[in-house]
Copies of this chain bind each other. A is one copy, B any other.
Amino acid sequence: MDRRKFIKLTSSAGAAIALAKIAAVGATESKKQAPVVTKDSADQQHMDAMQQYAELTGGAKLTIGMLVYPGMFLQDLVGPLAVFESLMNRDIHLVWKDINPVGNEKPEHPVLIPIKPTTTFKDCPKNLDVLFVPGGVPGTFTIMEDPEVLMFLAEQSKTARYITSVCTGSLILGAAGLLNGYKATSHWSTLDVLSELGAIPTKERIVVDRNRITGGGVTAGIDFGLKIASLLRNENYAKAVQLYLEYNPEPPFDAGTPEKAPKEVAQFLNDMFSGMVETAKQTAKRAKKRLS
């Protein structure tokens, strides 16, 4: 490749747009979409760029479906989304019952950032490469008993390549009957609740069991996203995304698990969460009963 041409290609519009352009050309390997015909010399430059960095830019078209719902925790969604959006040649759907913004159903607890779904359950494509469920309490508990959502997840799971969650999203997967006999993780506070749903609670940041991939609490979504990126593309591709997102974490404190946190801090959150955990257990028991 002529490197100067590649630089020119990316010079005006910024990296994000350049990535998007290359992504469009990357569709030539798509299993779901006809090859994109190059129309002009700019497209030819993209093809040249593709050739040098094929390992870091190529790959079949990906279709990713991310559930959004009232009461979810925004970072649970946005962490994996930041990774998925950094992949080229992909469609991402934010899926819900309808396309009205979710988040402000309870005027007494308004959220700062309501999310407008892009796609309804009915219109969501089948054969998703990734089916993803974020967590967020107390929204999780409502969804664990929402037949329309559980049916959507169960149906999509039949054709999805990876069935995934972050944080308490695993309780929703479990309530849909999708973690029975699978190792899985959740937010540390609700890890044990997974056993009520037939899953095998596994205390790891990212748990991969066959095609189920679950991440720990909230911020685990970035680690989780990069793991999935490596499976969807390859390890060097995931590393390119990691560098793009400058994911070289340096937490100013080392208190991210109950074992590492000061005793008083862990006790505070255990006290704070204890009622929530009890609600999670009762909800999980009812969900399991419905499944059997």
Stretch at the interface among A107-115, A147-155, A170-178, A284-292: A107-115
Query: Is there contact, CB below 8 Å, between A274 and B223?
Result: no
A274 / chain B contacts, CB cutoff of 8 Å: 7, 10-11
- Selected contact of A252 from candidates B13, B206, B245, CB within 8 Å: B206
Query: Is there contact, CB below 8 Å, between B15 and A265?
Result: no
Query: Is there contact, CB below 8 Å, between A82 and B75?
Result: yes
Interface size of A by CB at 8 A reads: 92
A239 proximal to B (CB < 8 A): yes
Stretch at the interface among A36-44, A126-134, A255-263: A255-263
How far apart are the CA atoms of A276 and B238 in the complex, in Å?
22
* A275-B113 contact given A137-B16, A256-B248, CB 8 Å threshold: no
A92 proximal to B (CB < 8 A): yes
How far apart are the CA atoms of A112 and B65 in the complex, in Å?
12
- Selected contact of A253 from candidates B9, B187, B242, CB within 8 Å: B242
Within 8 A of B (CB), among A241-289: 242-253, 255-258, 260-262, 264-266, 268-269, 271-276, 278-279
A246 / chain B contacts, CB cutoff of 8 Å: 167, 187-188, 216-220, 256-257
24 residue pairs from A and B, CB less than 8 Å apart: A7-B275, A10-B273, A10-B275, A11-B275, A14-B276, A15-B273, A53-B268, A56-B268, A74-B78, A113-B115, A205-B249, A216-B248, A222-B251, A227-B252, A230-B253, A239-B255, A240-B261, A243-B255, A243-B257, A244-B269, A246-B256, A247-B256, A248-B251, A248-B256
- A residues near B (Cβ < 8 Å) are 3, 6-20, 53, 55-56, 73-75, 78-79, 81-82, 85, 92, 94, 109, 112-116, 118, 136-138, 141, 167, 187-188, 205-206, 216-220, 222-223, 226-227, 230, 235-236, 238-240, 242-253, 255-258, 260-262, 264-266, 268-269, 271-276, 278-279
